[in-house]
Amino acid sequence: MSSASPVKVKPAEKDAPLLTEAGLEEWFTRPYSNGSQTLSVSLERFHDPSGAYEAYTVLLDTDLEPSTVGQLTAIGHGRLIMLIGNFLVNVEQPQFASSADLQRLSDIVRKSGDTTPLPPIRSFLPQGFTDGTQRYALGPAAFQAALDKLGKAEFAPLTKEAGFDFGAEAMFANYQKAKESGVLLLIDYPTPQLAEQHLRHLDAVLSPAEKQAGTTVERKGSLLSLVLRPPSAAFAAELRNGVHYQTEVTWNEPTHKLTDPPWVVVLGRILIFTLMFMGLTVAVGAAFGGVRVLLKTFFPGKVFDRPGQMDVLQLGLSGKRIDSRDFY
């Protein structure tokens, strides 16, 4: 049980840039005791699960082991780390709590967690990486931290050219095969065009020594892959071939099938519409003529052919003046 109120934690100065990049919104810690045994639980809330996953991978190392509390948990060094949606939970001295209590804590936090899926790039990694070496970066702070942690600080120039301002995401992992080991770096971009653009930028900052050691940048769709100083070309090729990534083009607009009607139907429609048009013209002509005849019958010289407004040209061959009424 706990008799103390939660205490708001301010990140250490050295950790602040990375946690800010990850989108840390709140961080609280609270002690719990059972007699003389005391453990501390800290809860970090991030803007989304991607930021929480970045912070989670920063805490991993090869001495940690998976926990039975659930997936995306690690235990070791006297603490339990749990990633639950957009929450990162740290339990100091977890041995003072039962598995049921830890599971209950996980379930309580999960009810308030963001259920948005974690970054897809984590599933692109080939199987067989050394557990605890996986690192996710959605910004330069985590990217540089991953290089330092994995012993590849000489590749620091890649940080500025990775393109995080354009929505890039990176994933690291170390692989050990027999006596060979190497770090695989994957960088995913929103579009293949951005990937091609940054491929050139990254290739330009690789030193001649790094290229001589076999470090190359390769693109597949919107994903770039680099094996940092691979022990052999075969090792690098095997890692790249194991990447679980494929491009798909989907066409989700509605479709319809265009078919021309038979020629008999076309001729029939032409004939029908022609007859209809002819019938309409006859009806309109008869109506106009009928109205004119009726008006001339009942109102002679009042509406049509009024004598005072009729002018007739004559040649004057005779002396008789032409009367316009003689024409009707």
Can you give the pLDDT at residue 179? 87
Between strands 223-228 and 87-92, the pairing is unpaired
pLDDT per position as a tens digit, 81-139:
999 999 999 999 999 888 999 999 999 999 999 999 999 999 999 999 999 999 999 99
Please determine, for residue 199, whether its predicted confidence score (pLDDT) is greater than 90.
yes
The pLDDT score that the predictor gives to residue 328 is: 47
**pLDDT at site 242:** 93
Q: For position 194, what pLDDT does the model report?
A: 96
How far, in Å, CA of 123 to CA of 184, rounded?
A: 13
Are 91 and 130 contained in the same domain?
A: no
pLDDT over threshold 90, residue 160: yes
Q: Is the model more confident about 313 or about 204?
A: 204
Residue at 304 is within a domain: yes
Q: What is the mean pLDDT of residues 187-209?
A: 95
pLDDT at 326 over 60: no
Counting Cβ atoms within 10 Å, is residue 225 exposed (0-12), middle (13-18) or buried (19+)? Answer: buried
Residue 156 reports pLDDT greater than 90:
yes
pLDDT tens digits along 250-296: 556 666 666 778 888 889 999 999 999 999 999 998 888 888 788 77
Tokens of 316: 């004057």
| Whether 100 and 130 share a structural domain | no
Q: Does the pLDDT at position 4 exceed 80?
A: no
**Statement to judge: residues 27 and 104 lie in one domain:** yes
Is residue 151 in some structural domain?
A: yes
pLDDT in tens, 102-117: 999 999 999 999 999 9
Q: How far is residue 59's CA from residue 215's CA, in Å, rounded to a whole number?
A: 27
In a domain, 249, yes or no: no
Beta bridge partners of 217: 226
Regarding whether 269 and 214 lie in a shared domain, the answer is: no
Chosen domain end from 187, 207, 241: 241
Secondary element (H or E) of residue 286: helix 263-298
- Tell me, yes or no, whether 175 lies in a domain: yes
Q: Are residues 223 and 306 in the same domain?
A: no
Mean pLDDT of the chain: 89
Asked if residue 320 is part of any domain, the answer here is: yes
pLDDT at 30 over 90: yes
**Is 278 domain-assigned?**
yes
273 in the same domain as 208:
no
- The pLDDT of residue 246 is 75
Q: Are residues 228 and 167 in the same domain?
A: yes
Does residue 163 share a domain with residue 224? yes
Report the number of distinct structural domains present in the chain.
Answer: 3
- pLDDT tier for residue 316 given thresholds of 50, 70 and 90: low
Among candidate residues 51, 77, 112, the one where a domain is terminated: 112
> What domain range includes position 281?
263-327
Residue 253 counted as domain residue: no
Q: Is residue 156 one of the residues assigned to a domain?
A: yes
pLDDT at 325 over 90: no
Judged by DSSP in three states, 224 sits in: strand
Question: What amino acid is encoded at 21 in this protein?
Answer: E
